[in-house]
């Protein structure tokens, strides 16, 4: 099959924000493919992260996805400045960590200072639950240890969102949104929200298609960004995906990213290899039949965030999160 490639410049996601202090809606154009900028909690791996973030910018990426918890905000800012690309051409997302709900205004200042940027294009609540670490406001010693994470009842989702709206009004973020929210937690937020979330970033891939949640977000004017978008090795080796990729003379990752874009979603794959970074921006135009074949792989399988032996995910149960 001859490959017809998508023109990604013609399919950006329109991220709309309506703030009470603004006369008109603000519409941002979010490139559909972004670079996931999680490096590792390993200091040696973080040392080389700026190099692959910079190579992504030089390869054509204009969407960088970082977070306070990734500890790469500084590296993202440095890479932007070293690239020589006008800051206004780059869509930068970062996230409020789950142990900063009581410090929203201070936390974004901390993130801006780390990145040496004047604003972020998108600021997300990283997880719906508020948690407390033994160290309080500072970074936990082991953020991957579920026993170090204690969920707290206050501030609530609604209270944290009210502070996010203050961030939007301040101009320090051009749009605000959420991450890892379900229909349940979004519904709780929307009960009191004056500004609807512009984006919900969720684990999303062929084995966790999240069709019902996508429809809910669409009905409420919320764009969706996929993390873990290619499903790691499972996606790259799946026989159906491999066969479809061969038909279009592309890699399995390219085929899956094309599936995301044609579903109307953004995706933020992490790639440290310059050649693969370039590939990720060259996506085939999948046929309706091939889209359905990938749709059929859905098995509600989580590969990134899933319950520990006590049935908890960072201090909350699946029921509290509203995850099926």
Q: Is 110 exposed, middle or buried (0-12, 13-18, 19+ CB in 10 A)?
A: middle
- Centroid of chain to Cα 88: 20
70 is known as an active-site residue: yes
- Centroid of chain to Cα 297: 22
Please give the DSSP secondary-structure letter assigned to residue 103: G
Q: From the candidates 70, 133, 248, 314, which is the catalytic residue?
A: 70
> Which three-class secondary structure state does DSSP give residue 160?
helix
Q: What is the DSSP string of 73-85?
A: HHHHHHHHHHHT-
To the question of whether residue 260 is assigned a binding role by annotation, the answer is no
> Does the CA dihedral 42-270-80-24 come out positive or negative?
negative
Asked whether the beta carbons of 157 and 189 are under 8 A apart, the reply is yes
Instruction: Say how far apart CA 292 and CA 305 lie, in whole Å.
Output: 26
Write b or e for each residue in 217-244: b if 16 or more Cβ atoms lie within 10 A of its Cβ, otherwise e.
beeeebbbbbbbbbbeeebbebeebeeb
Active site residues: 70
Binding-site positions read 126
């Amino acid at each position: 099959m001859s490959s017809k490639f998508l023109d990604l410049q013609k399919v950006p996601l329109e991220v709309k924000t309506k703030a009470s202090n603004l006369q008109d809606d603000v519409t941002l154009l979010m490139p559909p493919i972004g670079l996931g900028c999680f490096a590792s909690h390993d200091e040696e791996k973080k040392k080389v992260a700026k190099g692959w973030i910079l190579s992504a910018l030089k390869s054509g990426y204009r969407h960088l996805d970082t977070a306070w918890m990734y500890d790469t905000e500084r590296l993202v800012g440095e890479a932007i400045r070293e690239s020589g690309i006008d800051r206004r051409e780059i869509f930068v997302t970062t996230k409020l960590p789950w142990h900063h709900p009581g410090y929203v205004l201070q936390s974004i200042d901390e993130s801006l200072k780390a990145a040496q940027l004047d604003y972020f294009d998108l600021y997300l609540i990283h997880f719906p639950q508020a948690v407390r670490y033994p160290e309080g406001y500072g970074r936990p010693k082991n953020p991957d240890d579920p026993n170090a994470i204690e969920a707290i009842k206050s501030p609530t989702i609604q209270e944290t969102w009210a502070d996010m709206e203050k961030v939007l009004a301040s101009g320090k973020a051009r749009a605000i949104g959420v991450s890892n929210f379900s229909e349940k937690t979004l519904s709780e937020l929307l009960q009191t929200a004056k500004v609807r979330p512009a984006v919900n970033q969720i684990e999303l891939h062929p084995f966790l298609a999240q069709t019902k949640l996508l429809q809910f977000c669409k009905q409420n004017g919320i764009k969706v960004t996929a993390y873990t978008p290619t499903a790691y090795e499972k996606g790259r080796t799946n026989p159906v995906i491999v066969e479809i990729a061969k038909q279009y003379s592309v890699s399995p990752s390219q085929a899956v990213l094309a599936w995301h874009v044609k579903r109307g979603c953004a995706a933020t794959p992490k790639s440290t290899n310059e050649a693969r970074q370039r590939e990720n921006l060259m996506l085939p135009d999948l046929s309706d039949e091939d889209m359905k074949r990938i749709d059929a792989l859905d098995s509600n399988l989580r590969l990134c965030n899933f319950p520990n032996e006590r049935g908890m995910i960072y201090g909350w149960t699946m029921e509290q999160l509203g995850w099926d």
